Amino acid sequence: IHNVVYDDAHYASSVVAAEIAQLIREREQEGRPCVLGLATGSSPIRVYEELVRLHREEGLSFKNVVTFNLDEYYPMSNQNVQSYHYFMQEYLFKHIDIPEENINIPKGDLEPEEVLEFCVSYEKKIKSYGGLDFQLLGIGRTGHIGFNEPGSHFNSRTRLITLDHLTRSDAAPAFLGIENVPKKAITMGIRTVLDARRVVLLAWGQNKAEIVQKAVEGEITSQVPSTYLQEHDNTTFILDKGAASELT
Ligand code: F6R
């Protein structure tokens, strides 16, 4: 893992957006789709705002981009304002020219008996595009990436998981109470993430400092799933001073 620490999360986000824009343009020139793995939550918001700006002001086109989001709560309807479907529409997709059929997000509204088949097809679809060129990540205070909570196997793939109590309590304000936070989610697996050719993890603020230190400097363990990124040879953690403050 390579760390880069910035004074300002806003500026750092524009650097990440510029890397994504460059990749989109490279793939366009090569005449093949750019396959992006995307995250939700507070960490990537400014990256998406900057991508929208690049689309509006600098002609960056997403016609050639295919996206796969990391996760979605389960059960969850797409129209729910707390859904990751809604989040992605609001912060990114409705502002850019990506074809609707190029957008992939785990479905929160499946019947229980449909979940397994959906998860297998999600993995197949990623493979059918030649794998993820770039995966954007945040990190949860449990050490999760996507919703791969402690205990996740390093070879895990897209599947239904049970959310940790800490993850649900961090989400509680948005849901106006922990009792409203879904208990499960569908998430890409650790191996799905590690198969991406490039991984960029964003973490902002002091309250991520302890878990960032464990992820980067701790021993590799399923108890802190983000430590598996130490085995990926093209991962960068983009941090502000707060998130980097516990690193030695
Ligand atoms: C979201 C996701 C999660 C978040 C993590 C951090 O798609 O997969 O792993 O990235 O929970 O969330 P924020 O950015 O809200 O601190």
How far, in Å, CA of 160 to CA of 162, rounded? Answer: 7
Backbone CA torsion sign across 2, 6, 8, 10: negative
The C-alpha atoms of residue 203 and residue 12 are separated, in whole angstroms, by 10
Enter the pTM of the model: 0.98
Q: By three-state DSSP, how is residue 101 classified? A: helix
**Residues belonging to the active site:** 149
pLDDT of residue 53: 98
For residue 75, whether the previous peptide bond is cis, meaning omega lies within 30 degrees of 0, is: yes
What's the rounded Cα separation, in Å, for the pair 127 and 147? 20
> Measuring from atom 12 of ligand 1, which residue has the nearest CA?
41
The Cα–Cα gap between 6 and 239 comes to: 6
For the chain, which residues make up each domain, given as ranges? 2-240
Residues 239, 218: Cα–Cα separation, whole Å: 17
Q: Look at residue 54 in the predicted model and tell me its pLDDT.
A: 98
pLDDT < 50 regions, the chain? none
Distance CA 80, CA 238 (A): 30
ipTM of the complex: 0.99
Closest residue by Cα to atom 11, ligand 1, is 140
pLDDT of residue 164: 98
The architecture (CATH level 2) of 2-240 comes to 3-Layer(aba) Sandwich (3.40)
pLDDT for position 14: 98
| Cα 31 to middle of ligand 1, angstroms | 32
Q: How far is CA 103 from the centre of its chain?
A: 14
Pocket test for ligand 1, best of 91, 139, 211 (most atoms within 8 A of CB): 139
What are the angstrom distances between the C-alpha of 154 and each of 95, 118, 132?
35, 21, 17
pLDDT at site 107: 98
Model pLDDT for residues 45-101, shown as the tens digit of each residue: 999 999 999 999 999 999 999 999 999 999 999 999 999 999 999 999 999 999 999
Work out which ligand 1 atom sits closest to the CA atom of 40: 7
Torsion sign, CA atoms 143, 145, 146, 148: negative
